Amino acid sequence: KAGVTQTPRYLIKTRGQQVTLSCSPISGHRSVSWYQQTPGQGLQFLFEYFSETQRNKGNFPGRFSGRQFSNSRSEMNVSTLELGDSALYLCASSLDISNYGYTFGSGTRLTVV
Amino acid sequence: EDQVTQSPEALRLQEGESSSLNCSYTVSGLRGLFWYRQDPGKGPEFLFTLYSAGEEKEKERLKATLTKKESFLHITAPKPEDSATYLCAVQAESGGSYIPTFGRGTSLIVHP
């Protein structure tokens, strides 16, 4: 059984650029959540998608956005990158919304220079 | 504001030396408490969900317990492969949503 797949694994971007990260959930999982992980703040919730609709949103600026496709795959986008956006971005999938026994992907390590 | 505090921040054990990790929380209306294990360079791996005070769950050398204010992750006779960061997360109702709040984690190193 394939796990949660995130691409790319590593990314280096320049301040002011934008970036798109991709997540393919476990087959049959319909809910996809995104988290930002940094040494200073730990794991922070970005948003959750279910049936192509954003169902929950964390306390992040509007530069952070996402979407989910009909096959449950999800993307998140960060526009106008700042140095503080450097982090590990984790995608987690689960069978249903608000079921937080997640399966996480290995993450995308984003470095903003 | 909901708070989840894990202690200690770091723990070093000798192989076979049992110990416990703590996750204390201040939330109203707890719906679930989750334990995860995270290895370097990887995403967290789900271990347990606990729903009510008094509940216990076990998996190999790990046992999780829950009270009304805290959860413990007991590690019995740990091995070096148990070295990882252990995260707890609390799910409670907040403004109509049930987004989990994660603690900062306990970094466990088990020496052979």
Does the distance separating the beta carbons of B44 and A104 come in below 8 Å?
Answer: yes
pLDDT given for residue A73 in this prediction: 97
CA-based diameter of chain B, in Å? 47
Q: Are A44 and A58 in contact (CB under 8 A)?
A: yes
Residues facing B25 on adjacent strands:
B4
**Count of all residues that appear for chain B in the document:** 112
Burial A48-87 (b: 16+ CB within 10 A, else e): bbbeeeebbebebeeebbbbbeeebbbbbebeebeeebbb
- Is residue B89 predicted with pLDDT exceeding 70? yes
Shortest distance, CA A98 to any CA of chain B (angstroms): 6
A90 interfaces chain B, CB cutoff of 8 Å: yes
Token code pair at residue A7: 């691409």
Per-residue pLDDT 10s for chain A (113 aa) are 679 999 999 999 999 999 999 999 999 999 999 999 999 889 999 999 999 999 989 999 999 999 999 999 999 999 999 999 999 999 999 987 766 788 999 999 999 99
Summarised one tens digit per residue, pLDDT across range B3-62 is: 899 999 999 999 999 999 999 999 878 889 999 999 998 999 999 999 999 999 999 999
CATH code of B3-95, in short, is 2.60.40.10
For A:49-88, CB contacts with B below 8 A are 56, 58
Separation CA B52–CA B66 (nearest Å): 7
Considering only CB atoms, B102 lies closest to which of A42, A101, A106, namely A42
Instruction: Measure CA A53 to chain center.
Output: 14
> What is the distance between the alpha carbons of residues B46 and B62, in angstroms, rounded to a whole number?
13
